[in-house]
Amino acid sequence: MNPAQPPLAGQQSAEQPPAEEQSAERPAAQLSDLDRLRHSAAHVMADAVKRLFPAAKVTIGPPIEQGFYYDFDVPEPFTDADLARIEQEMGTIIAADHPFELREVARDEAHRLFASLGEDYKLELLDAIPAGQPVTVCQHGAFVDLCRGGHVASTGLLKAVKLTGVAGAYWRGDEHNKMLQRIYGTAFFEPAELERHLALLEEAKRRDHRRLGRELDLFSINETIGPGLVLWHPRGALVRHQLETFWRQEHLAAGYQLVYTPHLARETLWRQSGHLDFYSENMYAGMDIDGQQYLVKPMNCPFHVMIYKHALRSYRELPLRWAELGTVYRYERTGVLHGLFRVRGFTQDDAHLYVRRDQLAQEIDRVIDFCLRMLRAFGFQEFELYLSTRPAHFVGTAEEWDEAEGILRRSLEASGVPFQVDRGGGVFYGPKIDLKIKDSLGRRWQCSTVQVDFQLPERFDMTYVGEDGGRQHRPIMIHRALLGSIERFFGILVEHYGGAFPVWMAPVQATVLNVNGAQAAYAAEVRDALRAAGLRAEADLRNEKLGAKIRDAQLQKVPYMLVVGDREASAGLVAPRPRQGQALPAQPLAEFVDKLRLEGQIPRA
């Protein structure tokens, strides 16, 4: 979801803004103790940069979920050697134990101060502070910064600080503005906490889905085709097939009906839905077909609306639950594209529910329960829920919003999962619930979104025949994405499992390894038997040492290696070797087939 755009009906959270965009510029009262520590570290880093690079101009430096950053306008990009020098200088500032002093100043005094320092960006930030709002600055030692507050007492309390990297970032996130240099860092209260965090960062690098996607031959992005457009290789496509098969199986069992819709539509549809008014910057240019403008779809919801309107609907039909794995296309700036996490073409695991007002509470309960069950089936056990309430600008009546928010709140309370309230964070057409998962490294990922919509039923004049025989009853529309998008969720799974997918998802479930050429024919026979049983198997018949074959299969994260030597070949046995753990005793091939078929079954949520 592009944070610079107001969300549209049906706009889901498939594409999330980076954590720093979500966390930047929070009021001091909202900062935790750890946030205050990291905010203080950001100030110390800016001080160190100014000492070493006097020409640097300072911009914004907030705490974020995993640490902090600060953006600088500098003549030349920072190098790794520069980061080492900056970190060393930070140590000097920390050792001096300067107190952090926050004070209110007159607006014209602040203007003179930052003008004298040549800090153009601070002057721009100062001008953006509304009239009547106090202006505050924070100083430690000789360094002074425009700041709303939220610090520890002194620099000496920064006992565990580390700079972690540097990247480019546009000023204010706008590609039309100047490219700045963003230095990332992190800070903790204790050195042991920092060491654990740095170890997790190293593990995250090893699990990076872009790296594993290449090593495991899962997917690629080809510049000849275009950035942000994914090519699914056979092994990655097979994992995706298993994921989608599970998705369809569970949706059908939960009372959903599947629909398919086109990839493009006439401009008039997008004008009626409001996308051309609110979302045109994220849509691709149209094409002329028979004198009519057509646009590729950024969302699926208007198509589902037209299916609803294809026939006269009765109150007896509701609720209607329609689901689609619909591929959509959205323009994302090149600078924010990131592997499978931020792309330009992706498959939304979309669903739209049409309910009567008296059915809304029950359906929200069902949706939350369904989302939690589905995500648990993929191995996720820790969740966070968020309720986003009425924003300043909204459609519908305040009474409708209050009723819908109350229903969402009661459903969240009934779920048993802790939730937070994001006041004013709802989209303009209705309140919503967002669900985050926590992966094996403790990182949080936005996945499911449930949005109540008062707008599209009005825009498209959607009605149903009520129990009273009247035809002008208006349904309520629920937009729901469960996984977010297939591409992004696939990337999350790769990193969650480190590429070692569960047996039911693994592209190759077993590789047969012959000890030498004498067992090649039997190894091929075992592979064919596994395939005939519906299992995904390969045979490594290369003239290589067994140790090398085992190592290669382990690198490919294959769940089972089946070693066959003379004894196994003569007795119709296989010697299973799991990718983790000790080799199992040799066993009849039929016995292993039964075991693998049981482990490889697509689960039930």
Query: Which position has the token pair 């009519």?
Result: 292
249 or 14, which is more confident = 249
Ranges for all domains in the chain classified under CATH 3.30.930.10: 238-265+298-497
Give the C-alpha separation, 63 to 72, whole Å. Answer: 16
pLDDT of amino acid 12: 33
pLDDT of amino acid 23: 37
pLDDT exceeds cutoff 70 at 25: no
461, 473 contact by CB (below 8 A)? no
Give the residue from 571, 489, 590, 537 showing the smallest Cα distance to 247. 489
Give the C-alpha separation, 183 to 79, whole Å. Answer: 10
Give the C-alpha separation, 496 to 150, whole Å. Answer: 34
pLDDT of amino acid 7: 34
**Residue 3 preceded by cis peptide, ω within 30:** no
Three-state DSSP class for 229? coil
End-to-end CA distance of the chain: 28
- Enter the tokens of residue 346: 């992706």
All residues at 6 or more sequence positions from 74 whose CB lies less than 8 Å from its CB, including other chains: 53, 55, 56, 57, 181
Give the C-alpha separation, 540 to 556, whole Å. Answer: 12
What is the average per-residue pLDDT within 23-39?
73
**What sign results for the dihedral spanned by CA atoms 246, 249, 255, 258?**
positive
* Fold classification of 510-599 (topology level): Rossmann fold (3.40.50)
pLDDT of amino acid 79: 93
pLDDT > 70: what percent of the chain?
95
* Fold classification of 238-265+298-497 (topology level): BirA Bifunctional Protein; domain 2 (3.30.930)
Q: What is the pLDDT of residues 382-413, one digit of tens each?
A: 999 999 998 888 777 888 888 889 999 999 99
> Mean pLDDT in the chain?
90
pLDDT exceeds cutoff 90 at 346: yes
What is the average per-residue pLDDT within 10-32?
44
- Enter the tokens of residue 507: 């592209």
pLDDT of amino acid 351: 96
In this structure, the chain runs to a length of 605
Task: Point out the residues that are catalytic.
Answer: 301, 330, 348, 350, 352, 432, 479
389, 426 contact by CB (below 8 A)? yes
pLDDT of amino acid 27: 56
pLDDT of amino acid 90: 96
What are the beta bridge partners of residue 99?
Answer: 154
Rounded-to-10 torsion of CA 177, 179, 181, 185: 60
pTM: 0.86
Strands (E), 121-245: 135-140, 143-146, 160-170, 179-188, 219-221, 230-232
Superfamily of domain 31-200: Threonyl-trna Synthetase; Chain A, domain 2 (3.30.980.10)
Ranges for all domains in the chain classified under CATH 3.40.50.800: 510-599
pLDDT of amino acid 29: 56
H runs (alpha helix) in 30-146: 33-52, 80-96, 107-116, 120-128
Range from 233-242, 370-379, 419-428 carrying the lowest mean pLDDT: 419-428
pLDDT of amino acid 581: 76
pLDDT exceeds cutoff 80 at 13: no
Give the C-alpha separation, 222 to 154, whole Å. Answer: 50
12, 1 contact by CB (below 8 A)? yes
- Enter the tokens of residue 421: 């309230």
pLDDT exceeds cutoff 60 at 573: yes
Three-state DSSP class for 456? helix
Give the C-alpha separation, 292 to 284, whole Å. Answer: 16
pLDDT exceeds cutoff 90 at 490: yes
- The confidence band for 49, taking pLDDT boundaries of 50, 70 and 90, is very high
**For the chain, how big is the Rg over CA atoms in Å?**
28
Q: What is the pLDDT of residues 167-219, one digit of tens each?
A: 888 888 777 888 999 999 999 999 999 999 999 999 999 999 999 999 999 99
pLDDT exceeds cutoff 50 at 22: no
pLDDT exceeds cutoff 70 at 15: no
243, 349 contact by CB (below 8 A)? no
Amino acid at 411: S
The edge-to-edge listing of strands for the beta sheet with 264-266 is 264-266, 292-296, 287-289
Give the residue from 227, 162, 173 showing the smallest Cα distance to 196. 162
Range from 241-245, 521-525, 579-583 carrying the lowest mean pLDDT: 579-583
- The confidence band for 30, taking pLDDT boundaries of 50, 70 and 90, is low
